[in-house]
Chain A
Amino acid sequence: ARALTGFVAGTGHGAPSSSQVFVVRRDQDIYIQTLRKLFNESHGIFMGLQRSEEELAGKSRKAQLVQVSKNYRSVIRACMEDMHEAAVSTRDPALQGQYSTQVSILSAMELIWNLCEILFVEAATAGPLLLRLLDWVRLHVCDVDSMVREVLSSESPSKHKLFWNVVDVFVLQGRMDEARHLLSKEASANPTSMNMYKILDDLMKKMPVPSTGNTQTLTELELKWQHWHEECQRYLQDGTFASNPHMESICKIMLGDEDAILEKKELMTTWYHFLVTRLLYSHPTVKPMELRFYAQSSMDLFLGGESSPEPLDMILMAAFEFEMHQVIKECSIVLSNWWFVAHLTDLLDHCKLLQSHNLYFGSNMREFLLLEYASGLFSHHSLWQLGVDYFDHCPEYGRVYLELHIERIPLSTEQKALKVLRICEQRQMHEQVRSICKIMAMKALRNNRLGSALSWSIRAKDAAFATLISDRFLKDYCERGCFSDLDLIDNLGPSMLLSDRLTFLGKYREFHRLYGEKRFPEAARLLLTLMTAHIAPCSFWMTLLTDALPLLEQKEVIFSAEQTYELMRCLEDLTAGNPDKQKFQDDDVETTKVEMLRLALARNLARVIVKEGTVEGS
């Protein structure tokens, strides 16, 4: 049930020819500013959990997992507070409505998570279980808080009309000390009921509760509790509290009388509060597996056929029944975002609680939910970076999903492209590296940024593209007669070896430099190597030979006989290769060039034979 929301743009006002553009967003929630903190902080917790020590066994591992669960919950609460702040401070009623809805959703999420933490992660046993549930109720049922504050802060609380309501609240939530404190104020104001008060106070003080330490066993507790229960029973039957209906009702509550407790429905507001109160006063040593029976009956009694259970109620019921998969399924249906179920399921999986419940397309539930959540993140212009880490921890399909998603991220600046590239390189996703570098190199080439284009080709070790760039340079040279971007070509370094064409470019430029520095013999040697080593493209041979002309024309003889023969051979290869073209050669420049070359070569040969003959002679 992911919300597909549409916005209408355009100026059409219902006219038949109105043009409308719909902006459809897949996952509306991730665009809410305040929720982004939730996503980022929980990402940190998620990563910490994945990296945490698996070797820790037993109690320390459980403690670690409970801490992780608490961290998640505190993040939810922090987000709730921020959202509440935002709701209060905004002036836009639509936004205010949206924020308020989010606050209640977050609150429900924390409620469910907290219960799951108690029942599944911590797996509280009989005894501590009740204490945890009491804490849970006290934390989450807050409709009565303002009433409590009002009474406590009034001048004489016992005279306040809601006084007994507050005492009842304390009793219902098992907050005995606070109840006794309030009652003492009533007692001092009303000396006639001093006797009754003392007895009630005493009963409250003596009520046995499970302890957090191991100071008593369950059997001991049950025995003590049985005694105490009987004592309360006696006082009630004796009519001790008969003259004060309030105190009598409190005593009945303490005896676990369902009708008496149900009378205080408005103070409890929810059936799960009713459940916990019932357990407190009728079966404090309840075992986890017994919860389901009490839960079902509590809900039935509380709702009493007037109203039907809401989705939240069904989810909590599934939790009390220890149906983890049901909890996850119901949450997935109700919530519009995968965040909650993905993280909760991952945590439960780390607790080794989810059996490998294979879904029909092969992956397990944890992976499925994480994939869905991460895919949602990838649809966001900014949160995609978080999604990468989630995919990393989906062993079966994570990599494939990542490969498909990462190619679709728009690369608006070079820096963003670099970040995406780094992600791909770290995961050996070579296809994607090549593809991204090619895209960036093409963009650079189109913008005439040849250095940038080359830099991208080097990163991808893309020889073909390097060849393309070199051809561009050479083309520019032929057209303009000089090199552009000398700072690049002069400083190619080892990257020159990336492609033959690039090597040629570098060496060709070196030839020009040597010539400029008047180091003619070296220049001549280099030129010859360029032709004979076959790294020069055929189209360039004429240019190279023409470059040889000034060297041939020098006063000093530069080319040796061997070299001259080589040059002549190259020239013949070049002209012989295209006999047809020669006939259609109406380009006088070309024929003149060839003629000049032949002449120069012949003259050079003549001079060099003489020179070499003379040298050898002496």
Chain B
Amino acid sequence: MEDVSAKFVSQKISRTRWRPLPAAALQPPDLFATGSWDNEDNRVSIWSAGDLGNAGLNGEYHGEPHLLCDIQHNGDVMDMQFLDQERIVVASSTGTVTIFRHHQNNQTLSANHRWEKAHYHVDQDTSCGGAACTGVVCNNPEIVTVGEDGRINLFRADQRDTVRTIDNADSSTLHAVTFLRTTEILTVNSIGQLKIWDLRQQRNEPSQIFSLAGDRVPLHCVDRHPNQQHIVATGGQDGMLSIWDIRQGTMPVSLLNAHEAEMWEVHFHPSDPDHLFTCSEDGSLWHWDTSTNVSEKPSFLHQGGRSTAYLSHSTINQSVVSAWLSNDPTKDRMEITNLIPNQTLSVNSLDVLGPCLVYGTDAEAIYVNRQLFA
């Protein structure tokens, strides 16, 4: 793909995240953050996605990503998410959770707040290494983290102390967490279970547990459909993509054989959720496209914001619903494309926003594609 710019950055990339756009923004994202792992000196870095001064004829940006600023980070960057336009929360393999602030005026990063030993094994005081914090999700000002210690922590960005801790929430490692609703979270663990937790309730039990039929393959990532909140996608250690309908049943609705190795991240496209993206240890990044023919497709991205096809509201919902929850893969066509031509080492992370895709690999390179739907 000609529109992909690559940059070798001398560090293995564990996470890449676009900075979120302000609500009414029309332009594509221009700034992303990365975290490294397996270095003696790991770094959290902020990059500009291309030379803004070189806008081409159609407003495309050329040039490779360039580093704006970075800061040293203790331990591997296991997960990160932007809290708002300036702050980013980073989860560390030492069990520490840090909020970094990006100062735009002088392009520096500083550590704003830190929760040390948010995750630890057995005894917080004696533990010398802590337990890795494997997942973090935010909904400003709330921050939820999960870790290898099976613990769930709830923080608030403006409060020093932990708001709430659920000890021993899980007997195995929690690999990822995401918000289902503002008061409910979803977690996935290493014995193949998807759990819903209601944070309003004081009891330390999940309100619902889902698991895969058959072998309890560990689940590594989870994402919720942006509009249809009952549709959840998870990725497993065997590279399988599972789609769940959490309103019904305790087992997934569809299982899609995808990658040949661990699926590290799964993301619905935030504004165009007919598109799903997954990346894996086997070095591939797949684009799953359930949008049907262009003429039938209710485009949310049409010029002028109004679809020219005359579709009633119910059919729009129906096509979106049936696409992911369909049990008959032959009826609704799904296009799956591998976006990486020469795959070598693992793609650890991806993020997608608007027409832009960014991903990072163990081959110490970052790739940015700014024309995803061209």
Is B344 part of the contact surface with A, judged by Cβ < 8 Å? yes
Stretch at the interface among B165-173, B320-328, B329-337: B165-173
Nearest opposing residue in chain A for B169, CB measure:
A487
Is A492 part of the contact surface with B, judged by Cβ < 8 Å? yes
Contact: B344 with A493, CB < 8 Å?
no
Distance in angstroms between the alpha carbons of A385 and B195 in the assembled complex: 34
Is B66 part of the contact surface with A, judged by Cβ < 8 Å? no
Contact: B172 with A47, CB < 8 Å?
no
- Within 408-429 of A, Cβ neighbours of B (below 8 Å) are at 412-416, 418-419, 422, 426
Contact: A448 with B122, CB < 8 Å?
yes
Contact: A415 with B171, CB < 8 Å?
no
Contact: B93 with A449, CB < 8 Å?
no
Contact: A40 with B364, CB < 8 Å?
yes
Q: How far apart are B43's CB and chain A's nearest CB, in angstroms?
A: 11
Q: How far apart are A481's CB and chain B's nearest CB, in angstroms?
A: 18
Is A358 part of the contact surface with B, judged by Cβ < 8 Å? no
Contact: B190 with A451, CB < 8 Å?
yes
Stretch at the interface among A12-20, A226-234, A452-460, A588-596: A452-460
Mark A489-510 against chain B: 1 for CB-CB distance below 8 A, else 0: 0011111000000000000000
Max count, chain A CB within 10 A of own CB: residue among B122, B150, B346 = B150
Stretch at the interface among A31-39, A251-259, A310-318, A518-526: A31-39
30 contacts between A and B (CB under 8 A): A34-B10, A37-B9, A37-B364, A40-B8, A40-B10, A44-B342, A381-B38, A389-B344, A414-B132, A414-B173, A415-B76, A416-B37, A418-B281, A419-B346, A426-B261, A447-B122, A447-B131, A449-B150, A451-B150, A451-B170, A451-B172, A451-B189, A451-B190, A454-B172, A455-B191, A487-B206, A488-B171, A491-B209, A493-B213, A495-B215
Closest 8 CB pairs between A and B? A451-B172, A451-B171, A485-B171, A447-B121, A36-B10, A37-B8, A455-B190, A382-B38
Contact: B365 with A40, CB < 8 Å?
yes
Q: How far apart are B115's CB and chain A's nearest CB, in angstroms?
A: 18
With A413-B148, A451-B170 as known contacts, state yes or no: A48 contacts B214, CB within 8 Å. Answer: no
Contact: B209 with A494, CB < 8 Å?
no
Task: Select which of A40, A450, A485 is within 8 A of B363 by beta carbon.
Answer: A40
Is B2 part of the contact surface with A, judged by Cβ < 8 Å? no
Distance in angstroms between the alpha carbons of A570 and B365 in the assembled complex: 66
Residues of chain A within 8 A of B206, CB atoms compared: 487
Max count, chain B CB within 10 A of own CB: residue among A43, A382, A385, A458 = A382
Residues of chain A within 8 A of B191, CB atoms compared: 451, 454-455, 488, 491
Residues of chain A within 8 A of B214, CB atoms compared: 493-494
- Within 37-58 of B, Cβ neighbours of A (below 8 Å) are at 37-40
Contact: A492 with B171, CB < 8 Å?
no
Is A101 part of the contact surface with B, judged by Cβ < 8 Å? no
Residues of chain A within 8 A of B9, CB atoms compared: 37
Max count, chain B CB within 10 A of own CB: residue among A34, A40, A386, A415 = A415
Is A323 part of the contact surface with B, judged by Cβ < 8 Å? no
Since A454-B172, A493-B211 are in contact, a sample of 10 more A-B pairs with Cβ atoms closer than 8 Å, ordered by chain A residue number, is: A33-B10, A36-B11, A36-B364, A47-B342, A382-B12, A415-B132, A452-B150, A452-B173, A487-B209, A495-B216
Distance in angstroms between the alpha carbons of A205 and B164 in the assembled complex: 86
Nearest opposing residue in chain A for B173, CB measure:
A452
Q: How far apart are A353's CB and chain B's nearest CB, in angstroms?
A: 26
- B: residues with CB less than 8 A from A are 8-12, 37-40, 76, 78, 93, 121-122, 131-132, 134, 148-150, 168, 170-173, 189-193, 195, 206, 209, 211-216, 218, 237, 261-262, 281, 342, 344-346, 362-365
Contact: B262 with A452, CB < 8 Å?
no
Q: How far apart are B158's CB and chain A's nearest CB, in angstroms?
A: 30
- A: residues with CB less than 8 A from B are 33-34, 36-37, 40-41, 43-44, 47-48, 381-382, 385-386, 389, 412-416, 418-419, 422, 426, 447-452, 454-455, 458, 484-485, 487-488, 491-495
Distance in angstroms between the alpha carbons of A41 and B345 in the assembled complex: 12
Contact: A385 with B362, CB < 8 Å?
yes
Distance in angstroms between the alpha carbons of A422 and B191 in the assembled complex: 17
Q: How far apart are A242's CB and chain B's nearest CB, in angstroms?
A: 58
Inter-chain contact count A-B, CB under 8 Å?
135
Contact: B215 with A418, CB < 8 Å?
no
Contact: B344 with A44, CB < 8 Å?
yes
Distance in angstroms between the alpha carbons of A500 and B193 in the assembled complex: 23
With A37-B364, A381-B40, A419-B281 as known contacts, state yes or no: A447 contacts B149, CB within 8 Å. Answer: yes
Distance in angstroms between the alpha carbons of A485 and B170 in the assembled complex: 7
Q: How far apart are A112's CB and chain B's nearest CB, in angstroms?
A: 23
Distance in angstroms between the alpha carbons of A298 and B38 in the assembled complex: 51
With A47-B344, A412-B76, A491-B211 as known contacts, state yes or no: A455 contacts B172, CB within 8 Å. Answer: yes
Residues of chain A within 8 A of B216, CB atoms compared: 455, 458, 491-495
Nearest opposing residue in chain A for B92, CB measure:
A413
Nearest opposing residue in chain A for B261, CB measure:
A422
Nearest opposing residue in chain B for A473, CB measure:
B171
Distance in angstroms between the alpha carbons of A454 and B344 in the assembled complex: 31
Nearest opposing residue in chain A for B148, CB measure:
A414
Residues of chain A within 8 A of B10, CB atoms compared: 33-34, 36-37, 40
Q: How far apart are B192's CB and chain A's nearest CB, in angstroms?
A: 8
Contact: A48 with B122, CB < 8 Å?
no
Distance in angstroms between the alpha carbons of A449 and B171 in the assembled complex: 6
Max count, chain A CB within 10 A of own CB: residue among B11, B40, B190 = B190
Distance in angstroms between the alpha carbons of A414 and B191 in the assembled complex: 14
With A43-B344, A422-B261, A491-B211 as known contacts, state yes or no: A452 contacts B364, CB within 8 Å. Answer: no
Distance in angstroms between the alpha carbons of A403 and B192 in the assembled complex: 30
With A37-B364, A40-B365, A381-B40 as known contacts, state yes or no: A452 contacts B76, CB within 8 Å. Answer: no
Contact: A493 with B215, CB < 8 Å?
yes
Max count, chain B CB within 10 A of own CB: residue among A447, A455, A458 = A455
Contact: B171 with A487, CB < 8 Å?
yes
Distance in angstroms between the alpha carbons of A44 and B343 in the assembled complex: 9
Contact: A449 with B345, CB < 8 Å?
no
Residues of chain A within 8 A of B121, CB atoms compared: 447-449
Residues of chain B within 8 A of A419, CB atoms compared: 281, 346, 362
Distance in angstroms between the alpha carbons of A31 and B362 in the assembled complex: 17
Distance in angstroms between the alpha carbons of A449 and B11 in the assembled complex: 31
Contact: A418 with B173, CB < 8 Å?
no
Max count, chain A CB within 10 A of own CB: residue among B122, B168, B173 = B173
Residues of chain A within 8 A of B345, CB atoms compared: 385-386
Q: How far apart are B39's CB and chain A's nearest CB, in angstroms?
A: 6
Max count, chain B CB within 10 A of own CB: residue among A413, A448, A454 = A413
With A40-B8, A44-B342 as known contacts, state yes or no: A491 contacts B193, CB within 8 Å. Answer: yes
Residues of chain B within 8 A of A36, CB atoms compared: 8, 10-11, 364
Residues of chain B within 8 A of A44, CB atoms compared: 342, 344, 363
Q: How far apart are A229's CB and chain B's nearest CB, in angstroms?
A: 50
Residues of chain A within 8 A of B134, CB atoms compared: 414-415
Q: How far apart are B130's CB and chain A's nearest CB, in angstroms?
A: 11
Distance in angstroms between the alpha carbons of A92 and B182 in the assembled complex: 51
Residues of chain B within 8 A of A449, CB atoms compared: 121, 148-150, 171-173
Contact: A41 with B8, CB < 8 Å?
yes
With A37-B10, A44-B342, A487-B206 as known contacts, state yes or no: A418 contacts B364, CB within 8 Å. Answer: no
Residues of chain A within 8 A of B93, CB atoms compared: 412-413
Nearest opposing residue in chain B for A32, CB measure:
B10
Residues of chain B within 8 A of A485, CB atoms compared: 168, 171
Distance in angstroms between the alpha carbons of A33 and B149 in the assembled complex: 34
Residues of chain A within 8 A of B38, CB atoms compared: 381-382, 416
Q: How far apart are A304's CB and chain B's nearest CB, in angstroms?
A: 45
Q: How far apart are B292's CB and chain A's nearest CB, in angstroms?
A: 36
Nearest opposing residue in chain B for A458, CB measure:
B216
Distance in angstroms between the alpha carbons of A422 and B220 in the assembled complex: 14
Residues of chain A within 8 A of B281, CB atoms compared: 418-419, 422
Q: How far apart are B36's CB and chain A's nearest CB, in angstroms?
A: 9
Contact: B218 with A455, CB < 8 Å?
yes
Residues of chain A within 8 A of B262, CB atoms compared: 418, 422
With A487-B193, A487-B206 as known contacts, state yes or no: A381 contacts B39, CB within 8 Å. Answer: yes
Residues of chain B within 8 A of A426, CB atoms compared: 261
